[in-house]
A and B are shown apart, each in its own frame.
Chain A
Amino acid sequence: MNSDKMETGEEIIICRDVHKWFGNFHVLRGVNLTITKGEVVVICGPSGSGKSTFIRSINRLEEHQRGTIIVDGIELTNDLRNIHAIQREIGMVFQQFNLFPHLKVIDNITLAPVWVRKWPKDKAEKIARELLNRVGIPEQADKYPGQLSGGQQQRVAIARALAMQPKIMLFDEPTSALDPEMIKEVLDVMVELARSGMTMIVVTHEMGFAREVANRIFFFDDGNIVEQNTPEEFFRNPQEERTKRFLSQILTY
């Protein structure tokens, strides 16, 4: 699919031997991976294997304790300026949407562009409306998040992240909190985004999505990548015993 990009593209995320502990609990145990610009990567794995912790380390919502993470040429350290600079360039979509309940949909989207990017209000609003159009809910701009369905809220959350014009988008189980009939409307938006060339890391168990747009699938277990492959190979011919077990569990129904 985008394989030509993968060979020639530049590396945008580099993780080398990333470790993290919660107290004594070793959550990330030496994760290594490199992601090139425009790549779409799916991460799956059993609950508690550290998938969330890992992608949250990429935009510094979690702090890794050993190893190196380099995003868009900037290494993640304790330097606050670097952290804010990187957080501006990475959009994130959460399982629980995390929209700002006290702000209208349109203000949710324009907040960061106006205050962080310092765009004039009308420019931010114009772009916000275009984004709402793109995610298919232009008519919801003046509602509050609490008045929307889960699927609509998640699409607003995607629009909010995109409004900062990020170079990378992280998704942490974006459809897990949704009723089945709303999952598709969110996945459709994500598929469109993937095809537009956005660099994406998606933690999800939606294997249909992975098959459709992922360049690579990473299988996480016990705080590390156990196996990685293209979707076709990953599903047809899993190498590790743990991967096979996991696939048989999630694909049975």
Chain B
Amino acid sequence: MLLRFRLNGRPVEVETPPGRRLLDLLRQDLGLIGTKEGCGEGECGACTVVVDGKPRLSCLTLAIQVEGKDVLTVEGLAQGGKNHPLQEAFIEAAGVQCGFCTPGLLMAAYALLLHRPNPTKEEVREWLSGNLCRCTGYEQIVEAVMQAAQKFKGIGGGRA
């Protein structure tokens, strides 16, 4: 099928089987390799993207399920060559070690901040509960999201 959707703010048209995984469409067909594949079955969150403002696992999403939708991947976070406040905060708070989980965590956190610009720590933990990290022990990540929430307001708020 000819699939049309918005990707990181731009309209795209791509020829794809409708049953192709969004993850493969992004990584293999569109060359956006920021989105990672960990488990491939919903358990790790490494493949998290944001679809119409909500977090979604791209390993459990078919191409046809994003037809006409607005998809944001980690590549869409930085604007004009500048990191998104979330990315900055992850670096500052040492929320990144090997980095494999980072794109998924960033997108889950981004979705949280869209809904709750001033989250509590408890809410941050809840919203990141589907994302596994084998390195950091999570505390730094929660801290990073709390820091970013302070700076995030007004910076990329309304965009999905």
A binds B: no
- List the interface of chain A (C-beta within 8 A of B): none
